[in-house]
Amino acid sequence: MFFIDTIELAGLGNRSYLAGGRHTAVAVDPPRDVDQVLMAAARRGVRISHVVETHLHNDYVTGGLELARVTGAAYLVPADARVSFARVPMADGDRVTVDTGLELRAVATPGHTPHHTSYVLREHGEPVAAFTGGSLLIGTVGRPDLVEPRLTEELARAQHASAHRLAAELPDETSVLPTHGFGSFCSSAQAEGDATTIGKEKSVNAALTEDVDTFVARLLAGLDDIPAYYAHMGPANAAGPAPVDLTPPAVADAAEIAARLAAGEWVVDLRNRVAFAEGHVAGSFNFEADGKIATYLAWMIPWGKPVTLLAESPGQLAAAQRELVRVGIDRPAAAATGTPREWIPEGGSPASFPRSTFAGLAERGTDGIVVLDVRRDSEWAAGHLENSVHIPLHQLHRRLGEVPPGTVWVHCAGGMRAGIAASLLDAAGRDVVAVDDGFESAAEAGLTVATG
């Protein structure tokens, strides 16, 4: 009997897998913090004999090289991926034995990247699962525009062909186990559901239900902005990432926090947005540890700028560190735990700003204020408040000067991004109200929603 364990990377919207038999196993697309993969293997009582990459990842730093080093496993990487380290190159049709009666076969599935490779797990010669990385996802496919703009349409067409190859070669009952699609911006759309099979995808996935021209046109029209930090992930993975250091950062006192703010460094408060609004260090930014901190902080911070983390507990700090190393923010410059009172020099007081809802905005009325929508372009086009200003969150720190004068009521789709935006505006000295509410409540509150 074989097993497949899923390792969720919720903050990045990705999954990694450990699959094997009674004695040995293969790790697929492992995260940079490899300890959780090692623990999964220990729970199963198996040795990791192989580590495989479906492609050079654009949205996170891989732990594959380090995992292979510490376990002595063979490191399998697509043959056409250009890397600077020793590995076992995998070409279409190559096979490796994972355990007795358990085999992994490489299937070239270009589209997400030119070298993308899926791996079919076969038990006694019969396909049981396909690790599809950024190729065939649940209800969608990986986006084709992360490598080179001039290749985007070509790769989109390759995605269609790769999906059809998998559907043609694999039985309907074969499990489809992608890496992307659970919130990752590497996915061309959000996955619908938690599990799928080849048979199910044949009936619901546009790559398998639409002709290639229709599919490509729809796919390209739906692509959204690419997180800025993606530009650094591919090169890091090609060079071979260094091992991570998850030991606690140096402790910063109130004076050091103030000095780092004065020097223009980023001081990031990890507490939830309600606590931040009620009281925080003036000039600090709020990226909730329980939100998509890795994606949005890495997207927005100038690459390489020192960051100091403020957390309510050592556990919250450690969790944020783990999320950040996955996207190449390796070591915080400093950190502190506790409350804002402990992070502010003696004699100072916490800053704060009010929160509200769409009902509160409707009651207040929009005359004389700025309504700022920080959702992405696609969300704005689907429906937005009449006469609101639109600046996507990931652009706001560079475009603060474009926000009209006056009190700013800032909203997103649910509240998290509005909390980040409110902290940026507050740090810039603007009067701000964070609308902590679901956008579906806007029309219910009587506000006019326009489209286009």
Give the model confidence (pLDDT) of 290-314 as tens digits.
Answer: 878 999 999 999 999 999 999 999 9
* CA 433, chain centre distance (Å): 27
Residue 274 confidence class, pLDDT cut points 50, 70, 90: very high
Confidence check: pLDDT of 186 > 90: no
Q: How far apart are CA 440 and CA 180, in angstroms?
A: 27
CA dihedral of 63, 69, 73, 76, whole degrees rounded to 10: 50
Query: Which pLDDT value is given to residue 185?
Result: 86
Give the model confidence (pLDDT) of 385-423 as tens digits.
Answer: 999 999 999 999 999 999 999 999 999 999 999 999 999
Residue 72's DSSP bridge partners are: none
Query: Which pLDDT value is given to residue 193?
Result: 74
- H/E run at residue 26: strand 24-28
Confidence check: pLDDT of 192 > 80: no
Query: Model-level pTM greater than 0.85?
Result: yes
Confidence check: pLDDT of 65 > 90: yes
Pair 336, 251: CB distance under 8 Å: yes
Q: How far apart are CA 393 and CA 379, in angstroms?
A: 12
Query: Which pLDDT value is given to residue 292?
Result: 87
Residue 187 confidence class, pLDDT cut points 50, 70, 90: confident
Confidence check: pLDDT of 209 > 90: yes
Query: Which pLDDT value is given to residue 203?
Result: 96
Pair 422, 411: CB distance under 8 Å: no
Confidence check: pLDDT of 191 > 80: no
CA angle in degrees (0–180, nearest 5) for 292-295-296: 80
Give the model confidence (pLDDT) of 84-134 as tens digits.
Answer: 999 999 999 999 999 999 999 999 999 999 999 999 999 999 999 999 999
Q: Share the mean pLDDT of the chain.
A: 96
N- to C-terminal Cα distance for the chain?
Answer: 54
Confidence check: pLDDT of 15 > 90: yes
Query: Which pLDDT value is given to residue 452?
Result: 77
CA angle in degrees (0–180, nearest 5) for 163-98-51: 70
Q: How far apart are CA 30 and CA 41, in angstroms?
A: 12
Confidence check: pLDDT of 75 > 80: yes
Query: Which pLDDT value is given to residue 189?
Result: 76
CA atoms within 13 A on the CB side of 36: 19
